[in-house]
Amino acid sequence: MRRILALAAALALLLSGCTAGGDGPDDGVVRLRFQSLAWQKESVDANRQLVKEWNAAHPDIQVEYVQGSWDSVHDQLLTSFEGGEAPDIIHDASDDLSDFAYGGRLADLRPLLSERLRADIPARSWETTTFGEGVYGVPFLQEPRVLIANRKILESSGVRVPTPEKPWSWSEFRQITQDLTRTMGSGRYAVAWPLKEPVSVSLNLGVSAGGRLFHRDPDGRVTVDFTASDGIVPGTVHDQVVSDRTAPRTTLGSGGSDTLPGFFAGKYAMVPLGFAYRQQIAQQAPEGFAWTVLPAPAGGEGLAQGVSPQTLSIAEDSPHKKEAARFLDFFLRPANMVRLARGDWMLPTGTAALADPSLHTARDGWATGAAVAEYLRPAPAQSVRGYPEWKDKVATPAFQEYYSGAIDGAELRRRLVEDGNRVLARYQRR
């Protein structure tokens, strides 16, 4: 019994030592918490270094770097907001902000941001973080989808290699995948579509062909319509998998990383991936493997495609919004934005940062991405209330079945429009 009591006492002492203190000493120093979602070593290093530089230069405003995770950021922020314990500065993606913005959790940045920062980032990027009248985040990194191609297969086949100035059209892309597959031999495919998350790929690439899917009435009400333009990109993918057999059915349920072994082994000549995947390819590709970055095919709207940039926001509950905004202004100076972009292998939204020569080199396909940057638009679903439910319950299964050939285009349209509008209507009742 004495031993049990001793153990309990030791435990109590141990736990009392683990209890958090207050919010810091009352020494007049403003302390800000910055929750970053950077995860790759280069990116984390860049973030930490910038925080260190800020702290060295601003002893009266100290920023604490807190590591968050993309995997769980929404739930974690939701709980933190409800509990009044949210970080002062929040890293997230623009398509995750709408609920927090409309819910009054994020500060309207319009009166807080410097004129330099507002002028540096193009209006089309600001649109991704504008909800109602306010601006609730600074879009600072963005990622187009590109075609990562096996250079040897592409060059030996003799097909025209596209450039941002002269990209493939969607119909040309389909034809070229037929030609490529013929030259590659059996069991090999011109393109592998990793469509584990088929909705954002379909919608965002669909912008190039004039796809919009979501239509906003003058009174602000959003409805889904599926026009001929909306069907061009999904139709191309469907035909490549189902009728042309230029894309394997097996990768439809895969994530981007899952397709890389087949890509490295020469089983697929091209893989449509996010721009940041280049880092994985650079790290994992076997020695001597030659790869190149091509722009995604273009449609009636050229190289346009939808993106949801990474953002930095300030919590409405933060007692130090002005200081947080000053930190953002420092953090997103052009030179710093370049460091962050290179760390994440993504493109900066700021025009001054985007002009940096290091982002226009041919090496690792930076130049192709930089050339595409000016065509990037807000993702079609941006700020549509009810989109997450529409995506999960209606669009994801519909696109998956359509791409695998289980349903036809008419049924895809019916589900997206009829079932989809029923879902959206619930969110727009007055």
Partner 1 sequence: MSALRTSGPARAGQYLALLAYLVFLAFPFLWLLSTAFKPAPELASLHPTWIPENPTLDNFRQAFDEQPLLRAAANSLLAAVSAAVIAVAVATPLAYVTVRHRGRLAGAATGWVVISQAFPFVLVIIPLFLVLKNLHLINSVAGLVLVYVVWSLPFALWMLMGYARAVPAELEEAAAVDGAGRIRTLVSVTAPLLAPGIVATALFAFVTAWNEFFFALVLLKTPEKQTLPVVLTHFLGAEGVADLGPLAAAAFLATLPSLLVFGLLQRRITGGTLTGAVKS
Q: Which residues bind partner 1 (CB under 8 A)?
A: 1, 4, 7-8, 11, 14-16, 18-20, 22, 33, 37, 39-41, 44, 64-67, 69-72, 75-76, 79-80, 82-85, 87, 93, 196-197, 255-257, 260-262, 264-265, 267, 274, 276-277, 280, 283-287
Smallest separation (angstroms) from partner 1 to the CB of 183: 20
CA–CA dist 46, 38 (Å, integer)? 9
The conformation of residue 162, written as its DSSP 8-state character, comes to P
Contacts of 11 (CB under 8 A, 6+ apart): none
Smallest separation (angstroms) from partner 1 to the CB of 197: 7
Smallest separation (angstroms) from partner 1 to the CB of 200: 9
C-beta closer to partner 1: residue 1 or 123: 1
CA–CA dist 117, 262 (Å, integer)? 43
Structure tokens of 134?
């306010």
C-beta closer to partner 1: residue 46 or 224: 46
Smallest separation (angstroms) from partner 1 to the CB of 306: 15
- Please give the sequence-ordered ranges of beta strands (E in DSSP) within 4-112, or none if there are none: 30-36, 61-67, 89-93
C-beta closer to partner 1: residue 168 or 193: 193
Pairing of strands 305-307, 376-378: parallel
Cβ-based burial of 82 (10 A; exposed 0-12, middle 13-18, buried ≥19): exposed
Smallest separation (angstroms) from partner 1 to the CB of 157: 21
C-beta closer to partner 1: residue 76 or 175: 76
- Give strand pairing partners of 139: 311
Smallest separation (angstroms) from partner 1 to the CB of 158: 26
- The conformational region for residue 302 under phi > 0 = left, psi -120 to 50 = alpha, else beta, is left
Q: Residue type for 168, please?
A: W
C-beta closer to partner 1: residue 118 or 267: 267
C-beta closer to partner 1: residue 11 or 29: 11
Smallest separation (angstroms) from partner 1 to the CB of 296: 16
Query: Quick one: which of 120, 252, 270 has its CA closest to 181?
Result: 270
Smallest separation (angstroms) from partner 1 to the CB of 96: 10
Contacts of 141 (CB under 8 A, 6+ apart): 309, 310, 340, 341, 344, 346, 347, 348, 349
C-beta closer to partner 1: residue 164 or 348: 348
C-beta closer to partner 1: residue 220 or 286: 286
Contacts of 421 (CB under 8 A, 6+ apart): 223, 224
